[in-house]
């Protein structure tokens, strides 16, 4: 039995390479920046080149290593080509996703297919490409690896007008567990991070509606929205050796929403 001393080094990611899908803005951008500041070499993947370039320039000015990969993860051929071309891969943050809130009886097949394609199919194929790349490393079992699927508190509960979104996030929670069990012999850990509503420019218009704002705040015991850096901190933790015994689970960053 060892007695812990200074464990701060366990949160460092020097010598690791990370890929963040959906890195152009929001959670993905924040996670990529945090991983780079923790020492990882980060490849940022998103559809919009300009979104990626601004983050890469910001990190380069701070002395961190980051690269832009303009790619639509729903284009599995292009995505596989991009992942295969990476020099190496140790960490995947599988973040691309969308939501189209609407009453269940109004959900069109087009909207259903759009959300399923990005939130489930693309997350599956991106993880598959990443794992193939990770397994290319001859020292993978000793080196380890980390897959982090960004889900949602809605992968643990239900909510009105979010039937498709909840469907997809519950699916990825199940996928996370199954993949964790399958990859454990290769020392590749698979976990999810499930945030509540976050305070961002994209969510701000939603909270101008008093009824919706009250519905959300009444369900968060801590009484506030989440912040991007709180999710990014969780990503760094789960990616690092500080979480080396953690696999097949969901780290819920929800202010207590799912505890009641």
Residue with tokens 């009641």: 260
How far is residue 123's CA from residue 131's CA, in Å, rounded to a whole number?
12
Catalytic position from the list 141, 165, 177, 209? 165
Name the CA radius of gyration of the chain, rounded: 18
Q: Please confirm, yes or no, whether 141 is among the known catalytic residues.
A: no
List, as one string, the DSSP characters of 132-164.
HHHHTSTTHHHH-EEEEEE--GGGTS--TT-HH
- Cβ atoms of 80 and 74 within 8 Å: the answer is no
Catalytic position from the list 133, 141, 169, 209? 169
Give Cα separations from 25 to 36, 49, 97, 213, 235 (angstroms): 15, 11, 12, 23, 15
- Looking at residue 121, the DSSP 8-state letter turns out to be I
Largest CA distance in the chain: 58
Q: Please confirm, yes or no, whether 169 is among the known catalytic residues.
A: yes
The count of C-alpha atoms lying within 13 angstroms of the C-alpha of 257, restricted to the half-sphere facing its C-beta, is 27
Give Cα separations from 86 to 44, 130, 133, 136 (angstroms): 11, 10, 8, 11
The residues with which 251 forms a beta bridge, in sequence order, are 193
Catalytic residues: 165, 169
């Amino acid at each position: 039995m060892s007695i812990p001393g200074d464990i701060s080094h366990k949160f460092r990611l020097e010598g690791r390479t990370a890929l963040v899908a959906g890195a152009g803005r929001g959670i993905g951008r924040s996670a990529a920046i945090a991983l780079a500041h923790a020492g990882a070499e980060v490849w940022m993947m998103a559809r919009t080149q300009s979104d990626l370039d601004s983050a890469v320039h910001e990190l380069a000015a701070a002395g961190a290593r980051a690269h832009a990969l303009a790619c639509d993860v729903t284009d599995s051929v292009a995505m596989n080509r991009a992942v295969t071309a990476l020099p190496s891969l140790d960490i995947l943050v599988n973040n691309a996703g969308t939501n189209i809130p609407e009453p269940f009886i109004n959900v069109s097949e087009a909207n259903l297919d759009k959300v399923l394609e990005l939130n489930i199919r693309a997350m599956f194929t991106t993880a598959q490409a990443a794992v193939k790349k990770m397994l290319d490393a001859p020292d993978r079992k000793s080196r380890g690896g980390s897959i982090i699927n960004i889900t949602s508190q809605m992968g643990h509960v239900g909510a009105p007008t979010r039937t498709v979104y909840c469907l997809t996030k519950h699916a990825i929670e199940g996928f996370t567990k199954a993949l964790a069990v399958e990859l454990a012999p290769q020392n590749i850990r698979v976990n999810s991070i499930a945030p509540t509503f976050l305070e961002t420019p994209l969510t701000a218009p939603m909270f101008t509606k008093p009824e919706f704002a009250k519905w959300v705040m009444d369900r968060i015991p801590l009484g506030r929205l989440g912040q991007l850096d709180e999710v990014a901190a969780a990503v760094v933790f789960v990616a690092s050796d500080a979480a080396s015994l953690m696999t097949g689970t969901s780290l819920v960053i929800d202010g207590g929403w799912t505890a009641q």
